Amino acid sequence: MAKVITWQVKPNFVKQYQAGYPLIRRDTIAQGADSAEEGSIVHLQDEQGSFIAKGYCGMQNKGIGWVLTNKEGEKIDFLFFKQKILAAINKRQGFYHDENTDAFRIFNGEGDGIGGLQIDYYAGFYLISWYSEGIFRFKDQVIRVLDELGDYRGIYEKKRFDTKGSYIEDDDFVKGERGEFPLLVMENGIHYAVYLNDGAMTGIFLDQREVRKAIRDKYAKGKHVLNTFSYTGAFSVAAALGGAEKTTSVDLAKRSKNKTIEQFSVNGIDFEQQDIHVMDVFDYFKYARRKGLSFDMVVLDPPSFARSKKRTFSTAKDYPALIEDALSVTANGMLVISTNNASFGMKKLKSFVDKGFRDAGASFHILEQFSLPPDFQTSKDYPPSNYLKVLVVKRTS
Ligand code: SAH
């Protein structure tokens, strides 16, 4: 049984928690937070000792725990986890029945009622991400729910809670059958090679599914596509399958090249007809300008924050300059402008687009915009959970 502790909420924040705000932030707690023990059940109270909400203690860089319920009578036990996970799976029935897609998220943290816990499904395998030691203490309950559901091949996990909230290197196998990697998954008919036991990332970011589909179905035909920050080249593959004349993928991680070759190959695309550069994107832009290269479409999907030997890049500050760079290598093409930075919203991204185009002396119109797909449920009470913003923009002059 988890220990129960009480935290007293500062008066200014009581309303917010009563209204459903799910993240327990240290700065909102007046008393008790010193006795924070990972995985204990936390009762939030006001100064008078009246009940506000119930949650668990788990240290993440964002907070010190998550609210699980505002009902005083609700118990946080196996049944609680079971109900939340079953409800989440019910919402994804469309995905389970989709013949062309077998990789999707079945449980998305606070969006499905339990912050700090994510579960993805990859062709019969579950991948659980634990974002704190605290939620990891509930591992037995979560695994038991998956066991009761039955019918899976194996379970893997990512422990994303070392000191800076990053991934702890480990054998990530939990139980069931050990997969053979790469595991081939399918997304809207596109194949992707994924690795569930090879570091923090799997080779594919499932949240960009709708963007990849749009690139393949609507935008790529006949184009020369530059895919920057390309990682394993997932956007390049979608573009090539959509009839792109050619794709150019640029990422500075050395392993990105082999991974991109692999993603092309599992789709029957001759990688030798595509360009793949292991290079700093900013150097690539300089090189492309020098060579007078021009692209019909540029995909920008930078990490929120990156530090390389030469520079630091932060989307919240440097996105306009990145757009300006991209415009220097596309005459009248389009840009796919993406960010997963949770600290700003779509309005701000649009203001970055305005600024980037203005600084380049160019104009544009927005063709389409994307946010998270439905398997990435968000919490309306916690705006950062709606982190993904993607704009498809056509340069008009
Ligand atoms: N667009 C990818 C995901 C990008 S993840 C997809 O859809 O799958 C971010 C990638 O940016 C990482 O692979 C990282 O190696 C790369 N990266 C970070 N800084 C970079 C830089 N300055 N130049 C090139 N690549 C960079």
Residue-wise pLDDT for 4-41, tens only, equals 999 999 999 999 999 999 999 999 999 988 878 999 99
Fold equal for 4-69 and 78-188: no
User: What are the domain boundaries of the chain?
Assistant: 4-69, 78-188, 205-395
| Contact criterion met (CB below 8 Å) for 195 and 168 | no
Tokens of 75: 């118990």
> CB burial class (10 A; 0-12, 13-18, 19+) of residue 161?
buried
Shortest-distance atom of ligand 1 to CA 232: 8
- Looking at this protein, which amino acid is placed at residue 130? W
Residues of the chain with pLDDT under 70: 1
How far is C-alpha 237 from the chain's CA centre?
A: 19
- CATH code: domain 78-188 is 3.30.750.80
Tell how far the Cα of 226 is from the centroid of ligand 1, in angstroms.
13
CA 18 to CA 327: how far, in whole Å?
A: 47
Tokens of 10: 């500062």
Kindly state which CATH superfamily the domain 4-69 is placed in.
PUA domain (2.30.130.10)
| Contact criterion met (CB below 8 Å) for 108 and 207 | no
Atom 17 in ligand 1: residue holding the nearest Cα: 229
Tell how far the Cα of 365 is from the centroid of ligand 1, in angstroms.
26
Pocket of ligand 1 (CB under 6 A): 205, 208, 229-232, 234-235, 250-253, 256, 280-282, 301, 303, 306, 308
Asked, as a colleague might, if the bond just before 182 is cis with ω within 30 of 0, I would say yes
Q: What is the pLDDT of residue 180?
A: 97
CATH level 2 (architecture), domain 205-395: 3-Layer(aba) Sandwich (3.40)
In Å, what is the CA distance from 199 to each residue of 166, 167, 173, 232, 278? Answer: 11, 8, 12, 14, 20
| Contact criterion met (CB below 8 Å) for 108 and 378 | yes
Q: What is the pLDDT of residue 1?
A: 67
3-class DSSP assignment, residue 276: strand
How far is C-alpha 42 from the chain's CA centre?
A: 28
To test the pocket of ligand 1, the residue of 229, 237, 282, 370 to mutate (highest count of ligand atoms within 8 Å of its CB) is 229
CA 73 to CA 44: how far, in whole Å?
A: 14
Look at the pTM and tell me if it is higher than 0.85.
yes
Shortest-distance atom of ligand 1 to CA 283: 23
3-class DSSP assignment, residue 370: strand
To test the pocket of ligand 1, the residue of 232, 251, 304, 387 to mutate (highest count of ligand atoms within 8 Å of its CB) is 251
To test the pocket of ligand 1, the residue of 252, 305, 340 to mutate (highest count of ligand atoms within 8 Å of its CB) is 252
Q: What is the pLDDT of residue 169?
A: 82
Tokens of 316: 């919240």
